[in-house]
Structure 1
């Protein structure tokens, strides 16, 4: 995991201090810093060393120094790509991201179609450039303009003081210097669904197991976030089949139901378990930092980001990479409001809709909160093969009314790996399980009066509640740029 930053345009190196801009995202990669530049371009990289720890310095370049690249994330199929498409290329490192260079030489813009992973990258020959983002938008990428200059960066905070306009590169898009913004992938439009429950369960088991194995790719220790809920517990159980000494991490307020459930899973699976009990005062103390790193003031996102921030800090003391259970609720209709759906096709369409919105909501939270502590987060449920498999399942098998419980199919598929009370535990949102939701809302209402909210709305502030106004005040201090609030994701009320 890393932070990337690039500038293209006349006399870029003379007009912009790339080193200073990079310093705003040093948390994404404190292990190493690299800058390459020409008269009209600059590439900068903050590295968190995961693959080829000693040799994987970035920016990377071809031996003849005519092609350059920076990358954030992991390309899981890089070895297969090297063997199939680049057998004669003189690789200089064992890092996964170096494969971008020969792939660009062979495929041009279409190189992105070859990649299996979570990534954002920029490849350039100094004249033209290609910037791309993974299919689900697991890794962030923003672009911005200032006069004749174009910027690309991992986080908004690297751009707010130099750019006139800031926009997000959407998930499954690339941006080319001549072609502009181009989509390259869409979730499948399924018309015939799979109905054989037994065959579906076998496929789910095999595909998720492969996804987890793929995400164990690392030259540094890998752990797991373990909330005690179904999703993270499944990931922990599958990881333990391949990692003999697996570290798991859980946090919560005193008497949090998640802490107790996580201990039960850790004992059952056999992880080296770590937990941290935080106080309400600690939540309030870290709130401003959370909003700064999160780059959002959306209440639902901020609430869930607090425990994610704290558990990331805990995990960073033991490992550099963690897997989490993000994505299962979207794929298996786990959110409470989805229990009201009685039309299978409507449920399927809603699933697609919330999957497409994940990149700047829950995935933004996972990325920013882990990166705040120089930790890499990976999300096995959002493997493209697994997503496409799940979208082929008859949505009738995901309806709450079909089985009287959400995510029945997922529970049934993996019930042999976990304690009965975990498999059939009632679904809780992350912030609820950590007992943080009510604390934050109460704190906000103590600070922001109802009259202040009325006045803020009259002035045109983009807020709806006292809690949101409280977070917005902190956000605006960090990100006064008018585009900062426009590029952030917002829950539309359904998941509050």
Structure 2
């Protein structure tokens, strides 16, 4: 996991070094700046060593080609065997991208399985691409006749650039051929076909989940897991704990945060005891929130109220985890795949509309929840991994009818007429992993279950010097003020930031 900058017909090593310095939190293990011989290209890279820590230095400079990568390629060993191990000069998973590109295959990039953003340069050509859902960030700016690429917007701050865009998830930019969408999210199924074996569907989902977690734990360093006590992170942690136990490794390290006595801390303790993890927790206070809020907003690159609220517990969890590990698993993506948000309940009688909404929301994760997870964890030099967003799991989950994700049912029968239950098929698939009351516990947003909402109110009163409830208008103004104070060009950041409410279709709750 890393941060990088690439200049193409756009500057020199001094500029690249200045830009990548603002991304040093993404990769504290090493920083290198390299110019490509015979080409107007400079690349800078700050590295967090996860795979191939001894010989995975970047930029990767081989022959006439140079490459910088942020992320992980989980099928790199399979690709290495197919491409020929003798072609490789390092143990780094990132080098796989270079050799796939050199095959000249039309859809070479589709063979990469993981989370990634990269820029690859040859003397007369530059290629930049991003993983299917945009788990890892990548921005491109036009600078005169050239292009500048960077992992975060803050790298561009103060440069006066007006033409900045995010490389879209699942897309590739080629200076020789333009933009291309190499991955499209499969559209979700709506109603179950007659005769569908629901039990078999849940069983298959479980198998796909197991494989995804095992795949996303591949690393040359220890991988821990966030554990909020909610369904999603608990499932991931339970599967990861089993995987480590089967491999004869030490217990999984889990990390939970919240205010003292909050529901999340209590639930996480119960889950940790059940799965036998090496559990760590931290209780934060309103004063702690007031202290870290400017830092969180600067790194989040957004003043959106809902994102800031959820970023606060993420920050404390990341700081806690980084004392023990370099990488963690998270439960991000389950709500979008399996209908886990409160507003989804309004779709319970319209599976087609629900399937459409889930597909839409998957396509917008990159500039809301995935931006939060990436920026806030990387601010603490911690790699966050999202097994629910594994490509194989996305494909399978989108084939599961929406009517099995959100339905009027209880814990025992898919055809019951009880209260609306979100993520029903996911709960059924993982019912044996966790205590019954936790499997069927109603969802609470991370900022609610952790106690952040109430503590944040008190923190905002400290910041504003006022008493009484703080409304969303005042709250939003505080966040924007902090962002504007942090950047020389705050409008550049605000203009490129996503918002939770954007394009979201809400219906009255059922």
Structure 1 position 279 matched with structure 2 position 279:
no
- Do the aligned partners of 1:445 and 1:466 also contact (CA within 8 Å) in 2? no
- Do the aligned partners of 1:396 and 1:402 also contact (CA within 8 Å) in 2? no
Q: Where do residues 323-362 of structure 1 align in structure 2 (5 Å cutoff)?
A: 323-341=329-347, 342-362=349-369
Q: Where do residues 384-463 of structure 1 align in structure 2 (5 Å cutoff)?
A: 384-403=391-410, 404=419, 405-441=421-457, 443-444=459-460
Q: Where do residues 10-409 of structure 1 align in structure 2 (5 Å cutoff)?
A: 12-13=11-12, 17-38=15-36, 40-62=40-62, 65-84=63-82, 86-87=83-84, 89-107=86-104, 110-162=107-159, 163-189=161-187, 195-243=196-244, 244=249, 245-341=251-347, 342-403=349-410, 404=419, 405-409=421-425
- Do the aligned partners of 1:167 and 1:483 also contact (CA within 8 Å) in 2? no
- Cα drift, residue 153 of structure 1: 0.7
**Residues 495 and 261 of structure 1: is their aligned pair in 2 closer, same or farther, counting only changes over 3 Å?**
farther
- Cα drift, residue 89 of structure 1: 4.5
2:2 corresponds in structure 1 to 2
**SS of equivalent residue, structure 1 residue 44:** strand
Q: Distance in 2 between matches of 1:167 and 1:285?
A: 32
**SS of equivalent residue, structure 2 residue 187:** coil
- Cα drift, residue 446 of structure 1: 7.0
**SS of equivalent residue, structure 2 residue 180:** strand
**Residues 107 and 199 of structure 1: is their aligned pair in 2 closer, same or farther, counting only changes over 3 Å?**
farther
Output the TM-score relative to the length of structure 1: 0.92
- Cα drift, residue 127 of structure 1: 2.0
Q: CA RMSD in A?
A: 2.1
**Residues 161 and 136 of structure 1: is their aligned pair in 2 closer, same or farther, counting only changes over 3 Å?**
same
Deviation string, structure 1 residues 447-470 (Cα, Å, up to 9, x no partner): 5699xxxxxxxxxxxx97221121
Q: Distance in 2 between matches of 1:90 and 1:246?
A: 35
- Cα drift, residue 149 of structure 1: 2.3
Unaligned runs of 5+ in 1: 451-462
Q: Distance in 1 between matches of 2:295 and 2:54?
A: 31
Deviation string, structure 1 residues 229-264 (Cα, Å, up to 9, x no partner): 111111111001121321000011111110010000
- Do the aligned partners of 1:122 and 1:132 also contact (CA within 8 Å) in 2? yes
Unaligned runs of 5+ in 2: 411-418
- Cα drift, residue 109 of structure 1: 6.4
The alignment of Structure 1 onto Structure 2 pairs a total of residues equal to 479
- Do the aligned partners of 1:175 and 1:182 also contact (CA within 8 Å) in 2? yes
**SS of equivalent residue, structure 1 residue 440:** helix
- Cα drift, residue 374 of structure 1: 0.6
**SS of equivalent residue, structure 1 residue 417:** coil
